[in-house]
Amino acid sequence: GAGRAYAAVDLGASSGRVMLGFIDRSHGSPRIRMTEVHRFANGPRPDSLAPGATLEWDVDRLFDETLTGLAAAVDAAAAAGCVLAGIGVDSWGVDYALDDVAAEGGGAVSIPSVAHHRGADPAWVAEAAAVVRDERVYAVTGIPPHPINTSARLRAAVTSPGGTAASARPAHTASPAGPAAMSGAEPDGHTRAGTLLLVPDLWVRLLTGTIGAERTIASTTQLLDARTGTWSRELIDAWGLGAVDFPEVTPSGTPAGVTLPWVTARLGAARPVPVHRVAGHDTASALAFAAPGDGQLLVSSGSWSLAGISVAAPVLSTEALAAGLTNERGVGDSTLLLRNLAGLWLLTECARQWSNESGRMLDPLDLVREASLLPDSGVPVFDVGDPRLLAPGGMPERIAALCVERGHPAPKGVLGTVRSIVESLAAAYAESVGLLERVTGERLRSVRIVGGGSRNELLCRRTAALTGLPVVAGPAEASAFGNLAVQLVAAGEFATLAEVYASGGMDATGPAVAAATDGIVRYEPGGVTGGADSRGVGD
């Protein structure tokens, strides 16, 4: 019969893509080939960028792009003599929609999903801490206080009468008299707030009509119990979130049904396509290869930078809280102990502003290449973990202010700012090595950078120099590959994730994968001047 191919929908805060994975069993041991079939830009909806407006994702457009990509995946599979045998979706963390499940009509519905960039009003964060102490929240969830946490924003949305409630709710429940609103009414007259769906689970719901909560993405909410991996009733009650419906939490790799008839038709698929809840959190997908105790500082470097290690059990100590470490779920039973830092978002935001000002489209990676010619010493650095860097707009000015605040001169011009961003990211990765070693007592021997940042030679070279450790960089499309890996095991194509990773996915070279999974590049700490001589391929 026809071979099987699997699609990974990977939604990032700056771009989304649909990748197609084939298993090549023609030469002895199986090889996985991953190719990109569709890519599209992402960002908060332009009209929601206005001052005072609630930042929202353009769910309708993103879902439509997803379907376009999946239709292309069906075609690409057919061209290779394969059928599309599965779909998985991963995305950035913390953002959600409150879905009116009762109003489900089978078609795509318009559900605003609030973007995290402005975070919750500081008053809500303070108030949440007044209700339950940070130490207690951390002991339960392993997530430190942060303005982007789902918990505080959800609380603001469902418990404040005005506030952001209207925009955080499904558009079709806005009418008080509608049957949809009534269907959720409780005997005491209180309307249910809706069902909490994090972005990957919202996508699964739109694709299949099924409702659920995958564990890795659920762990980004600060509402999941880090030890049991289930919703924390204690916090839901204490924070007054009783009107929200929380779907049952399931591990990554759980089947979620098949595509709805209209979706199947739109994809041009001969029959409904099975969908799995993969590791829905892009960070967990990107780091699905990691194992507790492997001695690597893991860096998932995309719009965000997540820097940390894989651990066998959550680390809920006061030291970990003081260090601002999040315990987010990884694949299987693993936990990812991570610092949440800004990433290439700083660069894309600056490039967006400079492009607007100059009327010329500036490519961030071109800017980095030019900036890498500047000297390594005397670069002003700033704290990439500063929450003031979350929101869009005025990024070069905010960076300059943060440098000055630290007693450094402001970076000079466009290239000076680019250089400062890259140096500050590398410095934060380097600082993470010591911080993780102190908190866990584990000794780290190398740094693994995956995601878009793994293609940024300057960033990798400076990280090797500042950590004094070898840096293994790549692949860029680590989230999509992890998404595929979980599907391939769930569908019975491979017995374990380790087997998938050993099958060429992470280090494959050759024309079939070159377009999607770049080779793995190694940077030695001594090779601080860079160039081809200082790096060799292979792990």
Catalytic residues: 282
Q: Helix 457-467 crosses helix 364-371 at what angle (to 10 degrees)? A: 50
**Residue 217: which residues within 8 A CB-CB, separation 6 or more?**
90, 91, 93, 198, 199, 200, 201, 279, 280, 281, 284
- Residue from 306, 309, 311, 428 in contact with ligand LRH (CB under 6 A): 306
Distance separating alpha carbons of residues 361 and 505, to the nearest angstrom: 33
For ligand LRH, the binding residues in 196-235 under the rule CB under 6 A are 220
Q: Which residue has the tokens 């820097």?
A: 307
- Residue from 57, 231, 304, 354 in contact with ligand LRH (CB under 6 A): 304
Smallest separation, CB 11 to ligand LRH (Å): 9
Q: What is the DSSP letter of 263?
A: H
Smallest separation, CB 334 to ligand LRH (Å): 15
Instruction: Establish if 93 lies at the interface with ligand LRH (CB under 6 A).
Output: yes
Which is nearer to ligand LRH, 281 or 522 (by Cβ)?
A: 281
The enclosing H or E element of 50 equals: none
Smallest separation, CB 44 to ligand LRH (Å): 13
Smallest separation, CB 283 to ligand LRH (Å): 4
Distance separating alpha carbons of residues 51 and 66, to the nearest angstrom: 29
CB atoms within 10 A of CB 64: 14
Q: Fill in the per-residue mask, 250 to 289: x = in contact with ligand LRH (CB under 6 A), - = not in contact.
A: -------------------------------xxx------
The sign one gets for the Cα dihedral 351, 354, 357, 360 is negative
Distance separating alpha carbons of residues 316 and 19, to the nearest angstrom: 36
For ligand LRH, the binding residues in 468-497 under the rule CB under 6 A are none
Stretch that binds ligand LRH, among 89-97, 174-182, 205-213, 267-275 (CB under 6 A): 89-97
Which is nearer to ligand LRH, 284 or 315 (by Cβ)?
A: 284
Instruction: Establish if 337 lies at the interface with ligand LRH (CB under 6 A).
Output: no
Instruction: Establish if 302 lies at the interface with ligand LRH (CB under 6 A).
Output: yes
Q: Which residue has the tokens 């380790």?
A: 498
Q: Which residue has the tokens 């206005």?
A: 50
- Residue from 92, 124, 203, 429 in contact with ligand LRH (CB under 6 A): 92
CB atoms within 10 A of CB 237: 10
Stretch that binds ligand LRH, among 70-78, 90-98, 348-356, 369-377 (CB under 6 A): 90-98
Instruction: Establish if 94 lies at the interface with ligand LRH (CB under 6 A).
Output: yes
* Cis amide bond preceding 380, omega within 30: no
Which is nearer to ligand LRH, 32 or 157 (by Cβ)?
A: 157
HSE value, Cβ hemisphere, 13 Å, CA-based, for 51:
2
Give residues in contact with ligand LRH (CB under 6 A): 13, 92-94, 116, 148, 220, 281-283, 302-304, 306, 340
